[in-house]
Each structure stands twice: as C-alpha cells, then as structure tokens.
Structure 1
C-alpha cells in the first residue's frame, strides 16, 4: 500500500511531466502561437515577445493560475 508521500510524489511527477511536455510543444510551435489555445483570441505581440512560449492570452492565463491556486489549497 502506497503511503501519502508516494502518492504526492506520483502526482507531482505527473504534473511536472505534463507541464514540461506542454512547454516543449510550445517551444516547437512558437511561430504559430498567435492565438490563445483556450479562447481563440489573438495573443498580443507584446506578450508573445515577452513570453514566446505563451499559448494563452493574459486573461486565460490569469484564470488558469487562479484555478491552480485553489487546487493547491
């Protein structure tokens, strides 16, 4: 039977691999990241220049971050 630390470690490993995989995909398609993958709105040029790996517009990014903060509690 797995203890809580093992389960937590597996969950953390899963999230890290998902995030790294997403970042690698983003890096591979940087030139195509002109529109938000959530809402479809255009990602402003200033955001694309500041964070070329960004796949979300600022609004969707903020929503995602707020949701992840609630999940961590």
Structure 2
C-alpha cells in the first residue's frame, strides 16, 4: 500500500521526467551540423568526432586547448 511519501516521490519524478524530456527535445532541435574542417587549425575533423559530438567546430586537439583555456579563465 502506497503512502503519502511514495505519492510525493512519484509526483516529483514525473515532473523531472517531463522537464528532462523537454530539455532533450530542445537540445536536439537546436544542434547545428558539425563542421568538416576545424575552425581553428583548418585540419579535417574526424568523422567519429563529428558523429559523437554533433555541432562540433574544433578538432580534438583544438577543443582540448579551448577547454583548458576556458577552465583557466573560469576560476
């Protein structure tokens, strides 16, 4: 027999599921196609990266440098 805590948990979970589904739908709707050439170094971006990270604009090496730069200035 369910008690009030179970009902509250179910209600919260339903709300979270709804919000996450809306967020996932919005994320997939706004992703641009990946570039084939890196915007930084002009080297080709590997197909595996383009498929794994839709909308990427940098090759793996340039993205790593950009992530390190962003982490340094985020402090």
Q: Please give the TM-score of this superposition, normalised by the length of structure 1.
A: 0.57
Which residue is 2:38 aligned to?
Answer: 36
- Cα distance per residue 1:1-52 (max 9 Å; x no partner): xxxxxxxxxxxxxxxxxxxxxxx6x60xx16x10000000000000011112
Unaligned runs of 5+ in 2: 1-29
Moved over 4 A (4+): none
| Richer in helix (by share) | 1
How many residue pairs get matched?
46
Q: How much is the aligned-residue C-alpha RMSD, in angstroms?
A: 1.6
Which residue is 1:67 aligned to?
Answer: 69
Query: Which has more radius of gyration?
Result: 2
Residue 72 of structure 1, CA deviation: 1.3
Q: Please give the TM-score of this superposition, normalised by the length of structure 2.
A: 0.56
